[in-house]
Every structure is written in C-alpha cells, then in structure tokens.
C-alpha cells in the first residue's frame, strides 16, 4: 500500500470522524522523536507461503474454532488485548498491533522479549505514546501512522488495530489471511467503537478486492457494506 493509494480513504475517515490530519502528524512525529531504533518489518516471518491469523479482540476469539485456527496459522498478528486473550489459551502472538489504548504492560513486555509491536501514533494518543514508548525495547517497536509516512514511521494502510494488522501482513506478502476474534456486531461496544468497526469492515472489503480473494469473515455481510468512499471498481 502506497500512501497515494491510501490517502483518499484516509481523507474520507477524517471527514467522517471530524479528525484533523495535523493531530495524526503530531502523533507520528512524537513517536518518531522518542525512538532510538525501530523494528524492520521485513524481519517478520511472513512470505508467499505463509498463513497469518489476524486476531481481533472480540468475544469470539475464545471460541474453540477461532482458537484452533489461530494455533494452526504460521504467524499470528494480534490487535491490542487479543494478545492477552490468546496468551491465556496458550497461543503465542508473533506481532502485536496497537495504538496503546488498553494494555501498555503487554506492549512493554513483548518488546522486552523480542516480539515486535506495531505502535501507532495518532492525534488522540499522545499521552500514551509519552508514557509507554520510552519503556519499550525500541529494537522491537514498529512505528506506524495513518498520515503520510516519515522515516522511520510506516503507513501500511488501515484504521483500527485489527484492520491495520491485516494491511501490515498483506504488505509483507502473506499468502493467506484468516480472521479470528472479529465481531462486527458486538453489542458490548460503545457507539464510537461501533462506527470504527464499520470502517474496519469496509477496509477489509477493500483489502480482499486488492488481493482478489474473499475473506470468510465478510461472508453474509459483503453485499451490505458501504464502499462509496473506497477505490473499488
């Protein structure tokens, strides 16, 4: 995903939520200023023969079916607290994706153990960046932004932790993506989170079109997904 491909979608997200690009740029720049090193994403063990489980933090993650699919995958890329849920069931995460809003101790612990964490900087998490990033092993921090990338900050595409994980592993050439712990209609989430999940669903629809495949997580939902702001033919 190149930024010129992502930017029109990013602008649609900014309009929908009333966010300002300048805020995301401040988050990006703050994150970059705190890092003494960063993780090279090409070091992740992902390639053209790799099946990656993209783990969301929904309640279905604890079902036997989803846990088994996570165990069977070659690599697990997990969003936020999905890392902790998987760990409680003996499933190891190979890469965490987070904007630091829930489990900072897990972020620090993983980097100290040599597990890469894709840390996202945006306009609403400046305090979390200041609080968490200095305590991480920077060799295992993969910094990301949804604004224009600036070395060493990457933009692989995506908006929520979960769909950013999907765009990351797609960028690295994963052969197959399997989705576990994804609950688009989770009644426990607040209205803002529900809107973000709608965007996550839309972005996965875009991604499956770019990959010329169909993600099972969208089966039964695909026809109702609003794709007007996405560059889908």
Q: Model confidence over 15-39: pLDDT tens digits? A: 999 999 999 999 999 999 999 999 9
What is the pLDDT at residue 233?
46
> 141 — phi, psi (to 5°)?
-100, 120
What is the pLDDT at residue 230?
83
Q: What is the DSSP string of 187-216?
A: TTS-HHHHHHHHHHHHHHHHHHHHHTS--G
User: What average pLDDT does the segment 204-216 reach?
Assistant: 95
Give 106-148 pLDDT, tens digit per residue: 999 999 999 999 999 999 999 999 999 999 999 999 999 999 9
Band of pLDDT at residue 207, cut at 50, 70 and 90: very high
Structure tokens at 17: 């939520």
Share of the chain above pLDDT 70, in %: 99
- Say whether 114 sits in a helix, a strand or coil: coil
Tell me what the pLDDT averaged over the chain comes to. Answer: 96
- Spell 160-186 as b/e; 16+ CB within 10 A means b: bbbbbbbbbbbbbebeebbbbbbbbee
Determine how β-strand 95-98 pairs with β-strand 51-55: unpaired
Domain range list for the chain: 3-219
Band of pLDDT at residue 227, cut at 50, 70 and 90: confident
pLDDT at 95 over 60: yes
Band of pLDDT at residue 232, cut at 50, 70 and 90: low
- Say whether 55 sits in a helix, a strand or coil: strand
What is the pLDDT at residue 229?
78
């Amino acid at each position: 995903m190149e930024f010129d491909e992502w930017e029109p979608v990013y602008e649609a997200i900014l309009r929908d939520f009333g966010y300002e690009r300048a805020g995301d740029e401040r988050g990006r720049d703050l994150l970059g200023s705190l890092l003494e090193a960063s993780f090279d994403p090409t070091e992740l063990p992902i390639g053209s023969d790799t099946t990656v489980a993209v783990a969301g933090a929904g309640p279905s993650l604890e079902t036997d079916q989803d846990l088994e699919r996570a165990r069977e995958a070659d690599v697990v890329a997990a969003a936020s607290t999905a890392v902790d849920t998987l760990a409680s069931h003996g499933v190891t995460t190979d890469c965490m994706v987070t904007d630091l809003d829930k489990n900072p101790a897990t972020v620090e612990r993983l980097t100290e153990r040599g597990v890469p964490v894709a840390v996202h900087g945006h306009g609403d998490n400046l305090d979390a960046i200041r609080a968490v990033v200095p305590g991480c092993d920077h060799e295992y921090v993969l910094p990301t932004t949804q604004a224009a990338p600036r070395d060493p900050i990457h933009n692989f595409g995506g908006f929520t932790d979960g769909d950013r994980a999907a765009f990351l592993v797609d960028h690295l050439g994963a052969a197959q993506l399997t989705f576990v712990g994804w609950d688009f209609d989770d009644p426990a989430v607040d209205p803002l989170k529900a809107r973000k999940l709608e965007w996550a669903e839309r972005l996965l629809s875009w991604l499956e079109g770019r990959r010329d495949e169909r993600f099972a997580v969208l089966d039964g939902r695909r026809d109702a997904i609003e794709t007007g702001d996405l560059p889908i033919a």
